């Protein structure tokens, strides 16, 4: 999927949040700061570590969706949308695990996720329930968007044809999840409010990326 196609996918239904991304065609899914291209070279030389980190990102995506279902069982549209994503994310975990095994590499230990921890610092903790739900959904959307961007870099920048295709599949899937989370936010919260808060999150996330050490053994 090209970046143009990603933008088309993401801007379906004249979505006011997603349409803003047309102004940001230089970056994927509206992200303000593109990944430093040198990251792909670092990742290429730390395959066992990057696959391990990727596997845990998929595991966390699956378990976080389960937590959201447990927290909001009454939000039927959300439960229905998230249930298949849990299966997909766990399927991703298994694909990455298979790739490690095939190469005689090992699933290492889970690391501290500095990127996600920094994002969580910006999350609204108190106040209105729908504001809290909005932030949770936008954090999910943001992690999907950044993951998608990283997979795109790998799918275009690695020398190995097989790995380029391997990462392209993840890129497409995470782009779809990103759209789902934005749409869910707009199902439960006023669209203008979603748009405004999304812009705040994009600006905050760019600051997080800018200050994180660039490491080839981490997806983020």
Q: Given the rule CB under 5 A, which residues bind Fe ion? A: 58, 61, 89, 92, 144, 174, 177
Q: Which is nearer to Fe ion, 72 or 90 (CB)?
A: 90
User: Least distance to Fe ion from the beta carbon of 73, Å?
Assistant: 21
Q: Name the nearest CA neighbour of 166 among 149, 152, 145.
A: 152
Q: Go through the chain and tell me how many residues it has.
A: 220
Q: Which is nearer to Fe ion, 45 or 120 (CB)?
A: 120
User: Least distance to Fe ion from the beta carbon of 173, Å?
Assistant: 6
Question: How far, in Å, CA of 119 to CA of 111, rounded?
Answer: 16
User: Least distance to Fe ion from the beta carbon of 58, Å?
Assistant: 5
User: Least distance to Fe ion from the beta carbon of 175, Å?
Assistant: 9
Question: How far, in Å, CA of 123 to CA of 125, rounded?
Answer: 6
Angle at 121 between CA 87 and CA 219, to 5 degrees: 50
Q: Which is nearer to Fe ion, 47 or 61 (CB)?
A: 61
Q: Please report, for residues 31, 201, 211, 212, the alpha-carbon distance to residue 207 in angstroms, rounded to integers and kept in the order given.
A: 11, 10, 6, 9
Q: Which is nearer to Fe ion, 131 or 163 (CB)?
A: 163
């Amino acid at each position: 999927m090209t970046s143009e196609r990603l933008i088309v996918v993401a801007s379906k239904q004249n979505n006011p949040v997603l349409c803003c991304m047309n102004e940001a065609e230089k970056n994927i899914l509206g992200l303000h700061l593109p990944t430093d291209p040198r990251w792909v070279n670092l990742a290429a030389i730390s395959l066992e570590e990057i696959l391990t980190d990727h596997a845990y990102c998929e595991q966390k995506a699956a378990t976080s969706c389960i937590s959201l279902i447990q927290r909001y069982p009454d939000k039927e549209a959300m439960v229905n949308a998230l249930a298949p994503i849990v299966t997909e994310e766990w399927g991703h975990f298994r694909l990455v695990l298979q790739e490690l095994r095939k190469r005689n590499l090992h699933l290492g230990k889970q690391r501290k996720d500095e990127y996600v921890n920094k994002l969580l610092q910006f999350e609204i903790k108190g106040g209105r329930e729908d504001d809290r739900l909005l932030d949770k959904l936008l954090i999910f959307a943001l992690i999907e968007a950044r993951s998608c961007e990283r997979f795109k870099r790998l799918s275009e920048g690695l020398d190995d044809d097989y790995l380029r295709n391997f990462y392209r599949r993840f890129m497409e899937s995470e782009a779809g999840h990103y759209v789902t989370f934005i749409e869910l936010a707009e199902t439960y919260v006023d669209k203008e409010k979603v748009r405004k808060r999304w812009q705040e999150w994009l600006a905050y996330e760019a600051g997080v990326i800018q200050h994180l050490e660039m490491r080839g053994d981490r997806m983020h």
